[in-house]
Amino acid sequence: MSTKRNALGRGLSALLENANTDITSKNKTEGESKVVGAIAQIEITAIETNPFQPRTHFEEEALNELAASIKEHGIIQPVTVRKLGYDKYQLISGERRFRASQIAGLKSVPAYIRIANDQAMLEMALVENIQRENLDPIEVAISYKRLIDECTLTQEQLSQKVSKQRSTITNYLRLLKLPVEIQLAIRNGDISMGHARALINIEDTDKQIDLYNQIVADNLSVRDVENLAKGIKTERAAGADKNNDTKPSKISLTFEQKKIVEDLRAVFNTKVNINRESTGKGKIIIPFKSDNDLKRIIDLLDV
């Protein structure tokens, strides 16, 4: 006796668990069952990547490790594709396996072949992407926003599809309102989701950036940031910060300056930041973890 499964929140496999979406299904006579889930061996050159794939960055080292595993053991989990035309296919999911198979020198890969229109394909790719364990919070937030905007879902419908509380989805979406440099810090792992959620509660963008720089410079805990954020909100409500207008305001970094930050981080192998004021002045912050780390940085500066 088969058990009917609820497809909501179970990822791509459950969303596709329908004979009507399977191009490999074959109608027999009326009333007879359909053949579902057939796997075909498809030439790699006949497959194109998914233009709706939310993830654009794949770690080279992880891909090489997966390629080595595939070389030795083959592909355990088939990729999923849709048929575009005669001997032409497009990935729905499994791009890491597909890329690793190319590195491993495979000529063909095992694949489930499905039918999906562009709208359904986008939804499938985004839901599958969200189910992964190694996404950073900004990637998750972007995927949630795309599902809401491009697939015309409400937050309530989305919460059902990905099996998350609506409040959790709201918290992720709020991350996209943070300044770009803070979003980049979340993606790079410089600050945690907990830090980010505390920063969101500060309405003033300049104060958000100031506190972010303090987190990096002083290695503040989430609790520290929550307390400081509460203090900033209280100060704002009481009108205590009367001298704000006379102080130079902080401004966001330009694209070139953000690139400089990334280059400096690569050189010093630490969380370098630039604090820039509207007057043109500013400072470069290079935090260190110990006396030995400070000596290492000084050596790199060659002073």
Cβ neighbors of 280 (< 8 A, separation 6 or more) are none
Kindly tell me the burial class for residue 299, based on how many C-beta atoms sit within 10 Å of its own C-beta (0-12, 13-18, 19 or more): exposed
Distance, first Cα to last Cα, the chain: 76
Element (H, E) at 111: strand 108-114
If we measure between CA atoms, which residue out of 222, 226, 212 comes closest to residue 287? 212
Residues designated as active site: 95
Q: How far apart are CA 164 and CA 286, in angstroms?
A: 38
Residue 4 and residue 69 in contact, taking contact as beta carbons nearer than 8 Å: no
CA dihedral angle for residue 8, residue 10, residue 16, residue 17, rounded to 10 degrees: -90
Instruction: Give 3-state DSSP helix, strand, coil % of the chain, rounded to 5.
Output: 50, 15, 35
Q: Could you identify the residue written with the tokens 């937030």?
A: 141
If we measure between CA atoms, which residue out of 250, 209, 201, 253 comes closest to residue 230? 201
If we measure between CA atoms, which residue out of 11, 10, 89 comes closest to residue 50? 89
